[in-house]
Structure 1
């Protein structure tokens, strides 16, 4: 077995370990999955169930099946899909709620567009796994709801926060800046709406979806990426940036998500321009965000690091983002940086006692025991996806190109 084959096996094994961990959180009494466990993995079966978490679980099991062809993952995806469709989707007003109780009662009925995007993303991947036309129809229905209620006809992009009936409300869930300003628009929501529309177009080949994907990708390139090759984070309705922070994790994650979107776009000149910009962003991340051992810092505020902690999702997205930059450029440094992230993950972030990954560790690899293993934002989306991406990319890579192996 050569080194590349060994790494392929390691990424497959790690993806399976993550998915199998989450399989144990299946709630057969009330549907869906248990949605909170402590640092050491003690489950609270009566914790609220985040709809965002469940969309990400559905996506992870669906993608796991699509890549690995393990039937058990498709069965788990079906269990999660049924819960989302039957309990979390508002049959009267459309869209999904923010959260429900452990036994399925609505707790937070907000219709945030970030949440709708992940629902679309998950249903599109589930359709590709299952062929269930109902899932694709529902994804398209929510797509049209987002366009009808959230699209900003004046300034472009999407207004984000709505009540149950799609009346605008304050954007407290996603757009709270360090300066204490609530803004109507965020990079994060727009990046993940783009991600959702990319997958929805792959699943549907719907020309309206294509038009909106192309339009949104251009907006991100023109309005959200700044002249220093970073994403602005929070914006007024007319696209004035309201935050000075830099999120290295989002910068590097966005490079490969934008490239995925570009792969669906038919405008060759635009795609060439976009991929040059995202490669520059990866270069800037490699220049500005690396610790001494290859770990990626999370965030700058006013030009200073917030901390030197290693956060699970930042290392996962950096691993894929640098691998993507290597595939585009052929520069060996990016491959090394990608594998450095995996080394940090395995040696520091992977919980070898209670499974899955720690939320974060300090610079010396010591985990924060106050951080839960599972909660509404701690999910299998980043780490399972990263391992499945690395597995797929290494499986399809040209052996001669990967001379480091």
Structure 2
């Protein structure tokens, strides 16, 4: 009896020590992340990225944060900067310029990016605000416009922002939403007419397809909108997108299918030769970064909808993360690879792009910690992978000298050390959202609510 008691006491002591070590690591990493947010990220972008001459934000910066190039302005980047500064204004209220920067971004979205004749947001303008190329629009860009307006209204309580958010939602509802097969058409004419795919469109182009990327960010945008405007139709569309992403766009294996016909028939080249598959790789591959990001976005949407006990969403989200860890994770250094593929004549997953892009690692941190909180004793050891990924990011992704993150990890792409630090597809949105999520979840007394 005494021997058994001793073993029980020893086991409890070991368990307590492990729990304390994990908590110590958690707090240490959170402190490091908070320091990086403030001293290696936000202070590099803002207010420097604010374009005082023509409005909106500058997008393109050299590796050492010098503005470069023509500074074209895309709705996605302009919206992401607006969202980030609005969130930073709430988080750091004593730093006055975040609020001013967010207002500056909102004004550019309203006055320049919004099409006053046909509605909806233009995709791309030059630095002076003149529309570039065909004035076609897409659901992806409009989703980010909606996302930014919702966040800015939450911070500022400026009803002009909420009114434009409502106009944006109804524009998508009228033109992009598919009342028959559900979801949203991605590619639209200037007047909002969906662009239909025909024989003139190259097989390597995604024009006319529905897709996972616009769908997951519409899910994200509707989640943000519903927090400030709990309208019944917004709730209906948010629930619709959650079900579509979870049950239609995500495969039984746990990865997202990238493109679909309008009726949600998957676009796949798996029955073709390897040469044909690789030619169409941007239409059909496994994107591990999107998978881990989507697991978080689904759980966030479920939480905002108030779906307590939503076991289905948690089950699918976990499956997505597990699939990415088993098939797209660098087991030596850590980090998620960019692309993989299930070739018909090869066993398991083949990595077809070994680079580790910055946004996948950021999203991975956020989602791994979320899974560690939900499944602390799972064999996948989410917290250990979270620590390993943060070490990888600290070593190969963050530029501790010039600030922000390299576009791809230096372990595989050392030339990125002197590549542009910012461009129209790279700002602070992914990194800010992920790191602040990790920090907030790591504060003493905080638990994962999603």
Instruction: Tell me the TM-score normalised to structure 2 length.
Output: 0.82
Q: Which ranges in structure 2 are unaligned for 5 or more consecutive residues? A: 1-22, 269-283, 344-348
1:96 aligned to 2:121? yes
Tell me, yes or no, if the aligned pair for 1:361 and 1:367 is still in contact at 8 Å.
Answer: no
1:126 aligns with 2:152: yes
Which residue does the alignment assign to 1:6?
Answer: 28
2:178 aligned to 152, 162, 165, which one?
A: 152
* Alignment counterpart, residue 77 of structure 1, candidates 102, 106, 109: 102
| Residue 243 (structure 2) pairs with residue 203 (structure 1) | no
Which residue is 1:277 aligned to?
Answer: 316
Segment of structure 1 superposing worse, 12-21 or 233-242? 12-21
Question: What secondary structure sits across from 2:387 in the alignment?
Answer: helix
**Matching residue within 430, 433, 448 for 1:385:** 433
1:360 and 2:408 correspond: yes
The answer as to 2:81 corresponding to 1:57 is yes
Structure 1 position 117 matched with structure 2 position 165:
no
- Deviation sequence 1:178-224 (CA, Å, 0-9, x none): x5564420001000000000010011111210111011111222210
Tell me by how many angstroms 1:275 deviates.
1.1
**SS in structure 1 opposite 2:243?**
helix
SS in 2 for 1:305: strand
Given the alignment of the two structures, is residue 310 of structure 1 paired with residue 342 of structure 2, yes or no? Answer: no
Match of residue 27, structure 1, among 48, 51, 58: 51
Alpha-carbon deviation of 1:59? Answer: 0.7
Q: Distance in 2 between matches of 1:322 and 1:397?
A: 19
Could you report, residue by residue, the CA deviation over 1:312-347 in whole angstroms, capped at 9, with x for unpaired residues?
A: 011101111111111222237212212222211111
1:338 maps to 386
CA–CA separation in structure 1 for the residues paired with 2:138 and 2:367: 27
Distance 1:45 1:289, change over 3 A: closer
Per the normalisation by structure 1, the TM-score is: 0.91
Q: Give the Cα–Cα distance (whole angstroms) in 2 for the partners of residues 103 and 252 of structure 1.
A: 37
Name the CA shift for 1:273/1:167 in 2 (closer, same or farther; >3 Å). same
The equivalent of 1:164 in structure 2 is: 190
Distance in 2 (alpha carbons) for counterparts of 1:132 and 1:265: 24
Q: Which moved more, 1:6-15 or 1:190-199?
A: 6-15
Match of 2:366 in 1: 320
Q: CA deviation at 1:290?
A: 1.3
Tell me the C-alpha RMSD between the 2 structures: 2.4
Q: How many angstroms does 1:159 deviate by?
A: 0.8
| Pair 1:2–1:286, CA change in 2 (3 A) | closer
Kept after mapping to 2: 8 A contact 1:34/1:43: yes
Aligned to 2:5: none
1:361–1:2 CA distance, 2 compared to 1 (3 A): closer
* Shift in CA distance, 44/361, structure 1 to aligned 2, threshold 3 Å: same
Cα deviation digits, residues 335-368 of structure 1 (max 9, x gap)? 2212222211111111123211111135356242
SS for the counterpart of 2:304 is: coil
1:31-50 alignment to 2 at 5 Å?
31-44=55-68, 46-50=70-74
Q: In the alignment, what sits opposite 2:19?
A: none
Aligned to 2:14: none
Is the 8 Å Cα contact of residues 198 and 264 (structure 1) preserved in structure 2? yes
Structure 1: stretches of 5+ with no match in the other structure: none
Query: Which structure has the greater CA radius of gyration?
Result: 2
Distance 1:3 1:267, change over 3 A: closer
- Of residues 111, 117, 131, the one that matches 1:106 is 131
Structure 1 equivalent of residue 298 of structure 2: 258
Structure 1 equivalent of residue 329 of structure 2: 290
